Amino acid sequence: MTLGDAMSEDEIGRRLYECIADLYPLCRSLTGEGLRETLRRLQRVVPLTLHEVATGTPVFDWIVPKEWNIRDAWVKNARGARVIDFQRSNLHVVSYSIPVRRRMSLAELRPHLHTLPDRPEWIPYRASFYNETWGFCLSQRELDAMADGEYEVCIDASLEVGSLTYGEYYLPGESTSEILISCHVCHPSLANDNLSGIAVAAALGRHLSGLSRRHSYRFLFLPGTIGPIVWLARNEALVPRIQHGLVLVCLGDSGPLTYKKSRRGDAVIDRAAAHVLKYAGDHAVEEFSPYGYAERQYCSPGFNLPVGRLSRTPHGRFPEYHTSADNLDFVRPEHLAGSFKACLATLDVLENDRTYINMNPKGEPQLGKYGLYADIGVDEMAMLWVLNLSDGRYSLLDIAERAGLRFEAIRAAADRLREHSLLKEVP
Ligand code: ZN
């Protein structure tokens, strides 16, 4: 079965965009109700299990932090008008701010205000997860409009003992070997950075649940850094099952698809993703670096998992990154659909990469005798490559790479040859 069959690209793009638009207003963070509500809404797409891990739980070198929740926040001027208002944008509050309620001069308030002078209309996104402080983010234009004088400052938040939440969806296949799909869920109203990956991961889970699968799949929706560390610490016994993995992030912008290789650099996922992107038009394949998202943890030396990362424009390389401009206008249904398709095509290679033995290896088989020359839609060169390299050592992906042909063509040729008993699968 081909995973991408019978899919309307318009329809999938529309669904992915709707998922993002639904989750966009929620104030997600490392922990708390915004994150929980995000995962609960995703349960409409896939039956995620929500896990709660108590504050203070040690996980490798880290400790699960306190739970942060926010109800409201504002800065009011002398006339009582909200000049900064959390209700208008959740980016206005530095994520994980401690509660504050006091009056202060603009000069006292100023060190707690963050702007982007180069982009005077945009609000920056800031977080302070492991250093207890507070602050507001606002546009430079809004700051410039704030007169000297006294302001009333309120952050109605709590930072207390609670738990960290993450979502997990396990989809069993014929074998227990697993493909891991991971995304981060800890950013507030940012569409490309976090929501695009979340939407694509959930949609993949839903799509794959309706198909027969050789591999098992594990979808993880985790807060950044601490999330994958928590999962790895709690599931170390399962880790050896992970045969391939993808971190999904920043998949809705107009940039070219970009694959970042695993630390290993030559894992099957690295080759499968590079192969798919090669035929997907404008793209980039980048080497591993110990920075980025959850791949930092999956590819730490104690695990060294074959996990790569798929993005369009990588984080930090688009001006809208971590600002209010990473909004619902910045991500487009057609880019989301293209990313989804690339994921499916990569998974399709992993599902169908097999190794065969040519049952007639002495000289070429006489293809005409089997009616294979007349076969419309089966590439003769692909058949010759499969027959020649199927000596039990080369998989179909190896053959596609060496032949310079698409995996689908190699696979279709192998299917036809197998039907005529010219190939036998190596278990
Ligand atoms: Zn980010």
Residue 378, SS3 per DSSP = coil
pTM: 0.96
pLDDT at 216: 98
| pLDDT given for residue 1 in this prediction | 43
Same domain for 148 and 101, yes or no, is yes
pLDDT for residue 35: 98
Do 175 and 286 sit in the same domain of this protein? yes
177 C-alpha to center of ligand 1: Å?
A: 30
Structural domains counted in the chain: 3
Is residue 314 one of the residues assigned to a domain?
yes
CA 345 / ligand 1 centre spacing (Å): 26
Same domain, 326 and 369: no
- Shared domain for 74 and 21, answered yes or no, is no
What is the predicted pLDDT for the residue at 2?
Answer: 54
CA of 87 to the centre of ligand 1 (A): 21
Q: How far is the CA of 229 from the centre of ligand 1 (A)?
A: 17
Q: How far is the CA of 294 from the centre of ligand 1 (A)?
A: 11
| Residue 109 near residue 143, CB atoms below 8 Å | no
Which residues have C-beta under 5 Å from ligand 1, the single-atom ion? Answer: 193
Class of residue 397 by CB neighbours under 10 A (exposed 0-12, middle 13-18, buried 19+): buried
* Cα 315 to ligand 1 centroid, rounded to whole Å: 7
Low-confidence ranges of the chain (pLDDT < 70): 1-7, 374-377
CATH of the domain at 150: 3.50.30.90
Tell how far the Cα of 129 is from the centroid of ligand 1, in angstroms: 13
Rounded distance from Cα 379 to ligand 1 centre (Å) = 44
Task: Give dist(CA 256, CA 285) in Å, integer.
Answer: 10
Long-range contacts for 295-300 (Cβ within 8 Å, ≥24 apart)? 295/247, 295/260, 295/262, 296/225, 296/228, 297/225, 297/228, 297/229, 297/232, 298/180, 298/182, 298/228, 298/232, 298/245, 298/247, 299/262, 299/263
Question: How far, in Å, from the CA of 346 to the mean position of ligand 1?
Answer: 24
Distance 127 CA to ligand 1 centre (A): 10
Å from CA of 193 to ligand 1 middle: 5
247 assigned to some structural domain = yes
Task: Give yes or no: residues 219 and 344 share one domain.
Answer: yes
Among 311, 335, 351, the domain boundary falls at 351
Residues 45 and 27 in one domain: yes
Position 368 scores a pLDDT of: 87
CA of 409 to the centre of ligand 1 (A): 38
Could you tell me the distance, in angstroms and rounded to a whole number, from the CA of residue 261 to the centre of ligand 1? 19
Query: Does any domain span residue 361?
Result: yes
**pLDDT at 427 (0 to 100):** 87
Q: Using the mean position of ligand 1's atoms as its centre, give its distance from the Cα of residue 125 in Å.
A: 9
In-domain check, residue 398? yes
For strands 178-184 and 242-248, give the pairing: parallel
CA–centroid distance, 110 to ligand 1, in Å, is: 25
Give the model's pLDDT for residue 374: 66
Centre of ligand 1 to C-alpha 167, Å, is 19
Residues 239 and 380 in one domain: no
Q: Sort strands 178-184 and 216-222 into parallel, antiparallel or unpaired.
A: parallel
Residue 258 is part of a domain; what is its CATH number?
3.40.630.10
- Report CA(213)–ligand 1 centroid distance (Å): 32
- For residue 66, what are its two tokens? 């306190």
What's the 187 CA to ligand 1 centre distance in angstroms? Answer: 7
Ligand 1: centre distance to CA 184 (Å): 9
For residues 115 and 54, state if they share a domain. no
Alpha helices in 295-354 (DSSP H): 295-298, 333-352
Q: How far is the CA of 39 from the centre of ligand 1 (A)?
A: 18
Q: Are residues 18 and 52 in the same domain?
A: yes
What's the token pair of residue 25? Answer: 């207003």
Residues forming beta bridges with residue 285, ordered by sequence position: 259
Ligand 1 mean position, distance from CA 359 (Å): 52
351, 370, 388 - which closes a domain? 351
Which residue range is the domain that position 83 belongs to? Answer: 68-160
* pLDDT at residue 373, as a whole number: 78
Identify whether the C-beta of residue 255 lies closer than 8 Å to the C-beta of residue 192: no
Task: Please tell me the distance from the alpha carbon of residue 352 to that of residue 268, in angstroms, as a whole number.
Answer: 12
What value, to the nearest 5°, has the Cα angle with vertex 69 and ends 68 and 71?
155
